[in-house]
Amino acid sequence: MLKFALRNLLSRSLRSFLCLMGLTIAIAGMVGLFSIAGGLEETVSQTFGKISGIVAMQPGAPIPLFSRIPRKWGDEIKEIPGVAIVNPEIWSRVNIIDGKPVVSPPRFLFGTDLPTRTRLKHGIYRDAIYAGRFLDLSDQGKLNAVISRQIAEQHQKQVGDSIEVNGQDLTIIGLYETGSILLDVAIILDIEVVREITRFDPDSVSCFYIEQSGEVKNDPLVKSIKDQFRDRELASWQPASLALANRSSSNLLKDLMQAIDQGLKGNSPPASNQNESTTVSEKITTETAANDEAEPEKESPSALEVRAASDWGDRLETFTADLDIFLGLLTGIGVLIAMLSIINTMLMSVMERIVDFGILKANGWSNRDVMLLITAESSLLGVVGGILGGILGQIAIVIVNWKFADQVHLYASPGLLLFGVFFSTSLGILGGLYPAWWTTRMTPIDAIRRG
């Protein structure tokens, strides 16, 4: 049956080829699109798998670059049981390197406190040094920097060379490579040097990197740190546009609360708003009393957001789940076109061979045999299209990863490639069912007469 089906497809080679190409491109597109989410998952798992400590930063800030927290809080974190070392960090965006604007990929100045950094048992950047050396206590206050291989190759630098960053001439004393596009973006210096270059607030840092002593597990330690700063005042991070929008609304809210406060104290508000303020005050007082009776007191939020490596992974899983839905919708368009192409190809093939099917049925072929022949032909298109689509998609992924190694990382797992073949085969079978069913409805005489 398979040989018969293959011979029928080859007898109409051009039509079969066009249908095969449509299915191949659809599967290659599916593999390529879903490799975006796969690349994100692999990159983050590789990155945060190397981070054994936890990070404390401003609530709401997506990454330490946007975070600002009081510098003195590090001393309090040190006293919490389970904390071994607290390393203050400053992160800032690099705008110009050697007189050229930096747009993509982004680069960052990473200032770290050297006395605590050198005491860490596990240092991501320190362990990734492949040329020169990492920063030590002798580099405090000096313009000595450690840069990634990507930055060194992009600007043709090596150990001992000078590199101009944001108008400052830095001396390269070491090169590192972690293998993660999320980590190989930093120019590492002493924290006080970065503070001076960027004019960073002397009483603030971006975040604290906390290394555990091992006496307390991660979850209880994270909770202890958050509890330590429950009643502190520190505004949550907001985008600049949202902060500006909230500024005007906060003034209105402030005026309203002042009017309410005066009403509650028995003071007379301005004449024009006296009745309105009193009414609002009575209403809010009543609602507040009712809510206090109905709801238990809620725990106040912490002024610090503390994240372990697993927390970043959980956040990414949520993001990639939403991304998979979007990519699935895009893939569905190509898959629908491919399926219609298969149906069209098989239907035209059936109509051209209607006499042949009539003769076969007259010679003893059952409707089941005819359906098996047609679905075998469409299944062959599906299998070959899935294999070629997977190969084409994998080749495209390799080219993209090679061409844009510093910016993106795509990854197609073996499971995704196997799913592509299975899915393509299923499309082929489904695409051949309607033409096969249409053929079995005719009797041999009707088929011969129509032919």
pLDDT tens digits for 308-325? Answer: 766 665 555 565 566 667
Total domains in the fold of the chain: 3
Using alpha carbons, select from 385, 429, 384, 373 the residue that is nearest to residue 8: 373
404 and 284, same domain (yes or no): no
- Same domain for 319 and 366, yes or no, is yes
Alpha-carbon distance 132 to 126, whole Å? 11
With CA atoms as reference, report the closest residue to 88 among 204, 4, 172, 229. Answer: 204
- Residue pair 89/191 in contact (Cβ under 8 Å)? The answer is yes
99 shares its domain with 200: yes
> Distance between CA atoms of 74 and 37, rounded to whole angstroms?
36
pLDDT surpassing 70 at residue 48 = no
User: Looking at the structure, do residues 122 and 271 belong to the same domain, yes or no?
Assistant: no
Q: Element (H or E) spanning 372, and its range? A: helix 367-403
Which ranges of 119-231 would DSSP assign to H, the alpha helix?
124-127, 149-154, 191-198, 218-228
User: Which pLDDT band, with edges at 50, 70 and 90, does 151 fall under?
Assistant: very high
pLDDT band at 441 (very low <50, low <70, confident <90, very high): confident
Same-domain status, 378 and 436: yes
Higher per-residue pLDDT: 197 or 279: 197
Q: What's the CA gap between 108 and 93, in Å, rounded?
A: 5
Span 185-208, mean pLDDT?
94
**How many of the other CB atoms lie within 10 Å of CB of 138?**
9
pLDDT given for residue 265 in this prediction: 41
Q: Would you place residue 277 in the very low, low, confident or very high pLDDT band (cuts 50, 70, 90)?
A: very low
- Dig out the tokens for 359 from the structure: 């003769």
The H or E element spanning position 248 is: helix 240-265
Residue 353 lies in a domain: yes
User: Is residue 301, in this structure, part of any structural domain at all?
Assistant: no
Closest by alpha carbon to 423, among 349, 355, 331? 331
The answer to whether residue 54 sits within a structural domain is no
**136 and 164 both lie in a single domain:** yes
**Cβ-count burial of 304 within 10 angstroms (0-12 exposed, 13-18 middle, 19+ buried)?**
buried
216 and 344 within one domain: no
Beta carbons of 219 and 82 less than 8 angstroms apart: no
pLDDT band at 42; cut points 50, 70, 90: confident
Q: First and final CA of the chain: distance in angstroms? A: 23
Ranges 122-131, 370-379, 399-408, most confident: 122-131
Same domain, 40 and 159: no
Q: Percent of the chain having pLDDT more than 70?
A: 75
Based on the domain organization, do 41 and 63 belong to the same domain? no
The mean-pLDDT minimum among 12-21, 73-82, 144-153, 343-352 falls in 343-352
How far is residue 88's CA from residue 69's CA, in Å, rounded to a whole number?
10
Report pLDDT for 324: 67
How much is the pLDDT for 439? 74
Q: Look up residue 223 and give its two tokens.
A: 């909770």
Inform me whether the pLDDT recorded for 75 exceeds 90: yes
In a domain, 304, yes or no: no
What average pLDDT does the chain have?
A: 78
Q: Which amino acid is at 127?
A: D
Both 131 and 224 in a single domain? yes
d(CA 130, CA 347) in angstroms, rounded, equals 62
- Cβ burial of 66 (10 Å; 0-12, 13-18, 19+) is middle
Residues 253 and 125 in one domain: no
Residue 303 lies in a domain: no
SS3 category, 413: coil
Question: What CA–CA distance (Å, rounded) separates 429 from 343?
Answer: 10
Is position 52 within any domain?
A: no
**Beta strand 207-212 with 69-70: parallel, antiparallel or unpaired?**
unpaired
Show the beta-strand stretches assigned E in 271-400: 305-308
Q: What is the mean pLDDT of the segment spanning 145-167?
A: 94
Token pair belonging to 46? 């590789």
According to the model, what pLDDT value does residue 260 have? 42
Residue 289 lies in a domain: yes
Q: What is the mean pLDDT of residues 349-372?
A: 75
Q: Is the pLDDT of residue 249 over 50?
A: no
Which one-letter DSSP state was computed for residue 247?
H
Regarding whether 180 and 326 lie in a shared domain, the answer is no
Q: Provide the domain limits for residue 179.
A: 59-228
Closest by Cα among 248, 306, 318 to 61: 306
Say if residue 64's pLDDT is above 50.
yes
Q: Which residue has the higher pLDDT, 340 or 66?
A: 66
Residue that has been written with the tokens 């005007």 in this structure: 248
The crossing angle, in degrees rounded to 10, of helices 367-403 and 414-440 is 150
Instruction: Using the CB atoms, write b or e for 242-267: b if 16+ within 10 Å.
Output: eeeeeeeeeeeeeeeeebbebbeeee
Residue 261 has pLDDT above 60, yes or no: no
The answer to whether the bond into 105 is cis (omega within 30° of 0) is yes
Closest CA to 89 of 183, 222, 227, 188: 188
Distance CA 325, CA 131 (A): 43
Inside any domain, residue 233: no
CA distance 261 to 269: 10
Determine the pLDDT at residue 268: 46
